[in-house]
Structure 1
Amino acid sequence: MTATMTDYATYKHFNVSMPSAHVAHVEINRPAKLNAFHQECVQMWLEYGQLFRALSVDASVRAIVLSGAGDRAFCSGLDITSAPELTSSTSSSSNSSGGGGGGGGGMDPARRAFALRRHIREFQDCIGAAAACEKPVIAVLHGIAYGLAIDIACCADVRLCAADTRFCVKEVDIGIAADIGTLTRLPKVVGCGSWVREVALTARVWGSEEAVSVGFVSRALPGKEQAVAEALKTARLMAEKSPLGVQGTKALVNYSVDHTTQEGLDYTAVWNAAAIQAPDPAIAIQATMQKKKATFAKL
């Protein structure tokens, strides 16, 4: 399936452009609110999931860059003024009737828990759509990157940042544990359990140098403009390669993170038993020998 830029223009909270061949640039577009996600009709995060699912199957797209509109923030997290499960819990419990009844329109605690679980799972699935996307995703963090920003960034395949970026796993400051993916993905991204626990349990802010030193980002660039330019350059390099090779590499790396070495090797063998029958390897080898740029079919 190949979408057009007209299709992507229908998204209210995200700007989508094609700055070069096969490269999509997605901007979180709520700069006046520091690109915070709000939950009015749950439209924003549902759109995010729909967008990345569409990009995943768009044959004209081979690599994606994700950034935030404006200079102040990549994403400042969840707009808690519109988060019903956060703002209503106190009033609901104070208005509960006796005999085991709960708040939330007379819903008992068990049924309210089931409803909240479905809500959280849906939110997780939408934010996780970038990780599930078949195409590589490069996140460019800048300015404020708090709370949900870390969930989003952990789903990217590559992370770059501007030197002014301020990171924070913010959730304990509002009395909850991060539940959209940070506590699951960040330990695998960074690999230092002590550091992950420190920043998650304290909600302290850390900067770009620390982000590089612990491996949360690949590189820190002087500013947002330079970071976006570097991300687009990297995306163009990815987009020039065989989409079979690039998308296969993402799938195999992601699989291997959650499986044993032998399971990863077995899965890779099965995957490449099919993939290497494509013409792409011969095209790539011939182009290298002739010192020409290879052209690959869409996938």
Structure 2
Amino acid sequence: MEENYKTLEIVEKTPNSRVVYLYLNRPSQRNALSRDFFSEFPKALSLLDQNPNVNVIVLAGSGDHFCSGIDLKTLNSVTDHSSTADRGRSSERLRRDIKFLQDAITAIELCRKPVIAAIHGACIGGGIDIITACDIRFCTKDAFFSVKEVDLAITADLGTLQRLPGIVGFGNAMELALTGRRFSGSEAKDLGLVSRAFGSKTELDAGVRHVAEGIAAKSPLAVTGTKAVLLRGRDMTLDQGLDYVATWNSAMLLSEDLMEAVSAQIHKRKAVFAKL
């Protein structure tokens, strides 16, 4: 994990811990998402995904905010297609650019390891795209959120309109996306966008660390399998989902992790699992 990034920072806070922190690291720009971010982010996630010493990733923001959305310079670079007068080629290039940005966010779901979002300060526009792709979300009560794209004359296109309805319900997602209004961390908890809203940044950090370390101590085969099956199940009927998990467990269930978990329960000790 010696990689150097312009927009990110990977931090190992506790020696020998299998929890690693990935920070959006442009605090002077309130962690606005630059073009470099969309190149670096999937690479960083892939690096952590392939690292056997990492079981859980905590995604947070450096400085006073989680993420203020897409950098306007990035937005201008995507929408500036004046180099060709051919409408078809210009539109095809714009579509490829949008898909490139989308892929960077979807990389969170493609990562086998759970990604926990720890949100404080602003979480706006592209920040919502990011957290809705995360597996678990926590925030401070005074964090604030906005599905802001409508105020920039944009139909949000990096995942919020696809993922948010499944998290907060269709009606709530429609209202938030059409109004672009600002809402608090406490309301985010009431909507179900986050699992818990903490009273302070210090409490958020401690609470996230506790949850992350707890997950990191579980069987990595079971954890990665649970994430994979839940994500796949979103697009399946009940019968299809049951069939999928039966197939998954027919390949993964009979493992040393299972024997270790059973033995630990019997002998009332802490289970210790091999790296994945």
The TM-score bracket by the shorter chain reads: over 0.9
* Structure 2 equivalent of residue 223 of structure 1: 200
Aligned to 1:210: 187
Whole-angstrom distance in 1 between the partners of 2:78 and 2:83: 16
Deviations 1:91-116 (A, max 9, x none): xxxxxxxxxxxx62134111011001
Q: Give the alignment of 1:10-21 within 5 angstroms.
A: 10-20=4-14, 21=17
Q: Quote how far apart the aligned CAs of 1:244 are.
A: 0.3
* 1:86 positional shift: 6.3
TM-score (norm 1): 0.89
1:23 maps to 2:16? no
Q: Distance in 2 between matches of 1:37 and 1:82?
A: 8
Letter in 1 for 2:56: A
Counterpart of 1:62 in structure 2 is: 55
Equivalent position SS for 1:19 = coil
- Largest Rg, 1 or 2: 1
The whole-number CA distance in structure 2 between the counterparts of 1:44 and 1:259 is: 32
CA deviation string 1:181-232 (max 9, x = no partner): 0000101122x21111111001000111211111000000012222122111
1:95 aligns to what? none
The residue number in structure 1 matching 2:76 is 84
Q: 2:31 aligns with which of 30, 35, 44?
A: 35
The aligned amino acid for 1:63 is V
Q: Is the 1:63–1:136 Cα contact (8 Å) retained in structure 2?
A: yes
User: Structure 1 residues 200 and 291, CA, compared in 2 at 3 Å: closer, same or farther?
Assistant: same
Paired position in structure 1 for 2:162: 184
**Counterpart selection for 1:255 from 218, 232, 244:** 232
* 2:116 aligned residue: 138
TM-score, normalised relative to structure 2: 0.96
Q: 4+ runs of 1 displaced by more than 3 Å?
A: 85-88
AA matched with 1:77: G
Q: After TM superposition, list the pairs within 5 Å mapping 1:191-206 onto structure 2.
A: 192-206=169-183
Number of residue pairs aligned between Structure 1 and Structure 2: 274
2:208 partner amino acid: A
Residue 174 of structure 1: aligned partner: 152
**What is aligned with 1:238?**
215
The structure-2 alpha-carbon separation of the partners of 1:182 and 1:199, relative to structure 1 and needing over 3 Å to count, comes to: same
Listed one character per residue, the Cα deviations across residues 230-277 of structure 1 (whole Å, up to 9, x for unaligned) are 111111101101100100011011111111111110010011011112
3-state SS, counterpart of residue 97 of structure 2: helix
**What CA distance in whole angstroms lies between the structure 1 residues aligned with 2:143 and 2:94?**
32
CA distance in 2 between counterparts of 1:64 and 1:232 reads: 10
Q: Could you say what the CA RMSD is over the residues aligned between the two structures, in angstroms? A: 1.3
Residues 276-299 of structure 1: per-residue CA shift (max 9 Å, x gap): 121111101111221212111111
Report % sequence identity. 41
Letter in 2 for 1:74: F
Shift of the alpha carbon at 1:12? 2.1
1:75 aligns with 2:67: yes
One-letter amino acid of the counterpart of residue 144, structure 2: R
Q: Does 1:297 align with 2:269?
A: no
- 1:209 is paired with a residue of what secondary structure? helix
Aligned counterparts of 1:233 and 1:207: Cα–Cα separation in 2: 24
- Aligned residue type for 2:221: L
Unmatched 5+ residue regions in structure 2? Answer: none
Contact 2:78/2:97 (8 A) holds in 1: no
TM-superposed CA distance for 1:11, in Å, is: 1.8
Contact 2:45–2:108 under 8 Å retained in 1: yes
Deviation of 1:58 (Å): 1.4
Matches within 5 A, 1:261-280: 261-280=238-257
SS at match of 1:74: coil
Per the alignment, do residues 296 and 198 of structure 1 end up closer, same or farther by CA in structure 2, a change over 3 Å counting?
same
Distance 2:56 2:188 in 1: 23
Q: CA, structure 1 residues 137+212, in 2 after alignment: closer, same or farther (shift >3 Å)? A: same
Question: 1:117 & 1:74 partners in 2: Cα distance?
Answer: 28
